[in-house]
Structure 1
Amino acid sequence: MNYTLKHIPERTQKPREVGLTMMMDKGMSVRQVEDVLETAGDYIDVVKLGWATSYVTPNLEKKLQVYKSAGIPVYFGGTLFEAFVVRNQFEDYLRVLDKYKMTFAEVSDGSIEMPHEQKCEYIRRLSQQVTVLSEVGSKDASKIMPPYMWIELMQAELEAGAWKVIGEAREAGNVGLFRSSGEVREGLVKEILHSIPYEKIIWEAPQKAQQVWFIKLIGPNVNLGNIAPQEVIPLETIRLGLRGDTFDFFLPKE
């Protein structure tokens, strides 16, 4: 840090297992990635190339190398995995992971119907060669799962070999964990936390109010995802109580 302040909450240090910030890259250029990493690289733990943007992104290999040189793992969005699976091209997906030397992968079923045991089998198979993040929740706002189902799915996917489970919210933060207004489904989150360790969950929380809510509930070292590149540093200040939303939250009460 550039100077000393008292009563700043302790943050975990990279490489982190908890307190992760997952940034979403929705098609940035190589130069844009370099600029973001120059200022925010210390606060980015993992990067998702949103949905299937990697299919159409120019200079993909060069961009991946920039992230790799910074020590930041990257993975293709779960929608790309689903796009291969729905076309019966899972083996081709494995070859893509090999081609680009990917060390992380996301398994999701937010856009397709898939028996859960089949999803867990994909997790088991992929976890033999890469670190797997599995996403729970549908991208269809009309599909509302009860809390017990979220818990059962998360537990099964962790047991199948997922490193972390991701709570679905889409890039807008208006489905899954959240109502269409962006409001957190508080009861759902608290029920999940009764059964699943917070360290094992990445909560997709692209909106500032959502980030603030999770930090106040769990603390500065909550895992948060789908963070826009320009919001990485603002999020870090929220984690540290250096923005109005959490300004007095970590200060001594007396």
Structure 2
Amino acid sequence: MNFSLKNIPDRSIKPREKGVTMVMDKGLSVREIENLIEVAGPHIDLVKLGWATSYVTPNLGDKIKVYKNAGIPVYFGGTLFEAFAIRGQFDDYRRVLDKYDLRYAEVSDGSIEIPHEEKCNYISLLSSQVTVISEVGSKDAQKIFAPYKWIKMMKAELEAGSWKLIAESREGGNVGIYRDSGEVREGLIDEILTQIPEEKIIWEAPQKGQQVWFIKLIGANVNLGNIAPAEVIPLETIRLGLRGDTFNHFLNTI
């Protein structure tokens, strides 16, 4: 850090198991990625190439290379997995992962209906090839799962081989663990945390208010995802109690 300040919350050190910041790349250029890494690279743990943007990105190989050279794992959004799976092209998807030498993959069912046992089978198969991150929750705002169902699915996916679980919210932060207003479903989160270790969950939190809520609940080392590139540095200051939103919170607890 550039200055010395007392009583700053301890942050985990990369490679992190807790305190992960997952960034959503929705179509950055190579130059934009280089600029992002120059400024925010130390604070980025994972980069997701949003939904199926990788299918239409002309400089895909170059982008992945820049991230990998910076030591930042990159992976395709779960919607791309779903696009392959629903077309009966799962083996083709596995070959694509090998082609781009990706070490992580996301398994989701937010846009399609997959029997949960079948989803867990995909997780199990992929976990022999890559590190699997599985996403729980639907992108359909009309599909609201009871807490017990979230917990049951999360437990099964961890047992199938998932490294981390993503709690769905889309890139807008208005479905899944949130109401359509962006408000956190607090009861749902409380129930999930009674059964699932918090370090196993990446909470999608694209909105600042959502990031603040989870940091105040769990602490500086909560796993947060779907962070916009321009919000990586601001998020790190929120984690450390160096922005007004959490300034007093951490002064009162450390």
Which TM bucket (shorter chain)? Answer: over 0.9
Shift of 1:252: 4.1
2:183 counterpart residue number:
183
Instruction: For residue 12 of structure 2, give the secondary structure of its aligned residue in structure 1.
Output: coil
The residue number in structure 2 matching 1:12 is 12
Structure-2 residue corresponding to 1:2: 2
User: What letter matches 2:191 in structure 1?
Assistant: E
Contact between 1:7 and 1:252, CA under 8 Å: does it hold in 2?
no
* Matched AA of 2:240: L
The CA distance in 1 between the partners of 2:131 and 2:112, in whole Å, is 22
Q: CA deviation at 1:226?
A: 0.1
Deviation at 1:163, TM superposition (A): 0.1
Structure 2 distance, partners of 1:231, 1:252, is 25
Q: Which runs of 4+ in 1 moved over 2 A?
A: none
Change (3 A) 1:27 1:145: same
* AA of the residue aligned to 2:135: E
Where structure 1 has 5 or more consecutive residues not aligned to the other structure, the ranges are none
The 5 A counterparts of 1:59-138 are 59-138=59-138
TM-score (normalised: structure 2): 0.99
Post-superposition CA distance 1:203-238 (Å, at most 9, x none): 000000000000000000000000000000000000
Aligned match of 1:142: 142
Secondary structure of 2:175's aligned partner? coil
**Distance in 1 (alpha carbons) for counterparts of 2:252 and 2:196:** 30
Report the residue type matching 1:96 in the other structure.
Answer: V
Q: Secondary structure at the match of 1:230?
A: helix
SS of 2:132 mapped into structure 1: strand
Counterpart CA distance in 2 for 1:180 and 1:76 is: 26
Q: Please give the TM-score of this superposition, normalised by the length of structure 1.
A: 0.99
Q: Distance in 2 between matches of 1:101 and 1:166?
A: 22
SS of match in other structure, 1:132:
strand
Structure 1 residue aligned with 2:228: 228
Provide the residue aligned with 1:28 in structure 2.
28
- Residue type matched to 1:178 in 2? Y
User: What root-mean-square deviation, in Å, do the aligned CA atoms of Structure 1 and Structure 2 show?
Assistant: 0.9
Instruction: Please give the per-residue CA displacement for 1:169-203, whole angstroms capped at 9, x wherever unaligned.
Output: 00000000000000000000010000000000000
Query: Which amino acid is 2:46 matched to?
Result: V
**Displacement after TM superposition at 1:7 (Å):** 1.1
**Are residues 1:156 and 2:156 paired?**
yes
**Kept in 2: contact 1:111–1:138 (CA 8 A):** yes
In the TM superposition, residue 59 of structure 1 has moved relative to its aligned partner by 1.0
Give the length in aligned residue pairs: 254
